[in-house]
Structure 1
Amino acid sequence: MVELIDFSAALIAPQAIRDAGYGGVIGYFSESRADADFGAKPLPRDYCDRLRALGLQIVTNYQYGKGDTSDWKGGYDAGVYHATIALDNHFAAGGPGYRPLYAPVDSNPTLAEWNSQIGPFLIGWASVVGLEWTGMYANARCIDWALEDGVATWFWQHNWSGDPAINGDHPAAHIHQVRIDTDRVDGIGVDVNTTLQDDYGQWSKATAPPPSD
C-alpha cells in the first residue's frame, strides 16, 4: 500500500511530499476554473519531471466543474470534451500512453442521474481515451453501477455516499480517498489516499500492449 495525496490550491515542493512520507500524487490535468484560480491545475511538465526525479508516482485525474457545474452533467458530449482536454494535458505534462485517466463523479448521484447523465458522460470519455483506460472517481454505489454497465475500468473511490456502511474499500477500487481537507503538506491542504492494488494507474507502470494478431 502506498499513500498518495491530491491537491489543487498550489504546487507543493516535491521534496516536501517525499519528506512527509507520501509515495506520490494524484494530479489534476484539467484547466483551472476562472472563479477558483487553482495553482495546481493542470500540473505542468517541469513539475511532473521533478516529481518523477525523486521517485514519486503520478496518477492522472481530471475535474473542472463542481456542484451545479459538475463535468458529468453535460452527458456524452461533455465526456468527449473533457476527456480531450485531459488527454492533451496529460501528454503535455509528459504522461505516457497506456495509462488510465480518472474522470470525475464528485458527488452522490441518484440512479436517474447515473442513467441519464453519468453513464453517457463515461461513454463519451471512453470514446476518446478508450474503455480500457477510462477511470472514474466516485463512491462505492457508482462503482457498482459502472461495473454493471461496463462503462469504466479503473476506480478511485471516495466516501461521499451518504451511507457509511458502503464506505469500506470496494473490491474493484484501485485507490481509496480516506481523508479530505484535514492534512497539510508544506502549508498546502491535501487529501490523502491509499492504494489498493499494485497497479493503480501510476505513470511508472506504463507498458505498451502486445501487438494485435
Structure 2
Amino acid sequence: MPDLPDVRRTRAVSRRDALRFAAAASAGLGAAALGAGAPTASAAAPTLIDFAAAQIPADAIRAAGHAGVVNYVSLSRPGSNFGAKPITLPYARSLNAQGLVIVSNYQYGKPGGTAPSDFTRGFAGGVADAKTGWGLHTAAGGGRSAPIFFTIDEDISRDVWNTVALQWFRGINSVIGVQRTGIYGGIDACQWAIADGVVGASSIPGYRWAWQTKAWSGTRIHPQAVLYQRIVDTASNPGPLVGGMRVDVNDVMARDVGQWNLHQ
C-alpha cells in the first residue's frame, strides 16, 4: 500500500475501542489499524474489492489476500446484465464460508448510462431506491443494522448537492434512517453528506459511513471516511485481476466499515 496523505491524527486507544477492535477483528478485518482504526503507511490496511460484471468465487478473493467485498444491493440498468447485481443469498453464504466480510452498496443509474444517475431523481427517487436497496440487502442476509452506501458516481458542484443530491439522501433517510445510510463519492460529496447529517456513524469514534473514491479527490483523504477506493479499474489504468476479473481495491480505514457480520 503506498503512503497515504497525512490527513489523520493519531488517537489514543481506549479500553472501549480495544474491545471494539477485538470484536471487529473477529468479524474479519484483521489487526492492521491503529488509534481509532486508521491504518498507517507502514502497516498495510485490510482491503475490500468491488466489482459488477460477475460473482468472483470466494476462494479466489481470499487467495488474493482481500478481507471481503463491497457488493451491490441494486439491479442492473436496462440493457445490461451485471452478474454481481444484486448480491444473492447463496453468493453471500459462499463469502461467509471463506471468512470474508460483505458491505452493501447501491447504484442503479450512471452518468451517460441507460438510466440517469440515481441522485438526480431527488427525494422521491431516494425513497424508491432505499426501498429497493433494503429489500435486496435483507434478502441476501444483510445485517439489520448495517448501512448501505448510496452512490454519487460523478463530480458534482455544491449547488447540485444542495438542490438535488441532498434531497435524494433525505428521501433515503426517510425510509431506512440516517444511521443505516452511507455515501460513496469524491471527497467533497462525502464532506457535504457528513456536514448535512445524512449519513450515519461507525462504531469507531470519529468515523462516518463515507466510502471515498480517489476520483475527484486529488490527493486528499477525508479523515472520517471508513473506506478509501485507492484503485479504480479503468481501461487506461486496469485494476488487479481476481478470479480472472479486474476489480477496484478499497483500503479499510476503520475497523467498522459497516460489514454485515458486525451489524446483525
TM-score interval for Structure 1 and Structure 2 normalised by the shorter chain: over 0.9
Q: In 2, are the aligned partners of 1:9 and 1:189 still within 8 Å (CA)?
A: no
Query: Among 166, 172, 179, which residue is 2:224 paired with?
Result: 172
Given the alignment of the two structures, is residue 35 of structure 1 paired with residue 92 of structure 2, yes or no? Answer: no
The residue number in structure 2 matching 1:211 is none
Q: How many residues align?
A: 204
Unaligned runs of 5+ in 1: 208-213
Q: State the TM-score, normalizing by the size of structure 2.
A: 0.75
Tell me, in whole angstroms, the C-alpha distance in 2 between the residues paired with 1:142 and 1:32.
24
The residue number in structure 1 matching 2:246 is 189
Tell me, in whole angstroms, the C-alpha distance in 2 between the residues paired with 1:50 and 1:168.
35
1:90-123 deviation digits (Å, cap 9, x = unpaired): 0100112011111111111011110111100011
Shift, 1:147, TM fit: 2.1
Q: Secondary structure at the match of 2:247?
A: strand
The residue number in structure 2 matching 1:16 is 60
% of aligned pairs identical? 40
Query: Among 103, 124, 131, which residue is 1:84 paired with?
Result: 131
Shift, 1:169, TM fit: 2.4
Q: Secondary structure at the match of 1:17?
A: helix
Alignment of 1:98-109 (within 5 A): 98-109=145-156
1:164-210 deviation digits (Å, cap 9, x = unpaired): 1xx43211100000001121111112100001011010011115xxx
Q: Secondary structure at the match of 2:150?
A: strand
Q: Secondary structure at the match of 2:256?
A: coil
Shift, 1:160, TM fit: 2.2
Shift, 1:126, TM fit: 0.9
Tell me, in whole angstroms, the C-alpha distance in 2 between the residues paired with 1:51 and 1:99.
17
Tell me, in whole angstroms, the C-alpha distance in 2 between the residues paired with 1:41 and 1:168.
30
Q: Secondary structure at the match of 1:96?
A: coil
> Following superposition, which runs of at least 4 residues in structure 1 exceed 3 angstroms of deviation?
none
Q: Secondary structure at the match of 1:174?
A: strand
Unaligned runs of 5+ in 2: 1-44, 201-208, 234-238
Q: Secondary structure at the match of 1:117?
A: helix
1:200 aligned partner, one-letter code: V
The residue number in structure 2 matching 1:210 is none
Alignment of 1:115-134 (within 5 A): 115-134=162-181
Given the alignment of the two structures, is residue 158 of structure 1 paired with residue 213 of structure 2, yes or no? Answer: yes
Tell me, in whole angstroms, the C-alpha distance in 2 between the residues paired with 1:123 and 1:9.
30
Tell me, in whole angstroms, the C-alpha distance in 1 between the residues paired with 2:164 and 2:51.
26
1:202 aligned partner, one-letter code: Q
Cα RMSD over matched residues? 1.1
Shift, 1:3, TM fit: 0.3
Given the alignment of the two structures, is residue 200 of structure 1 paired with residue 261 of structure 2, yes or no? Answer: no
Query: Among 179, 194, 197, which residue is 1:147 paired with?
Result: 194
> More helix by proportion, 1 or 2?
1
Tell me, in whole angstroms, the C-alpha distance in 2 between the residues paired with 1:55 and 1:44.
17
Shift, 1:35, TM fit: 1.8
The structure having more radius of gyration, on CA atoms, is 2
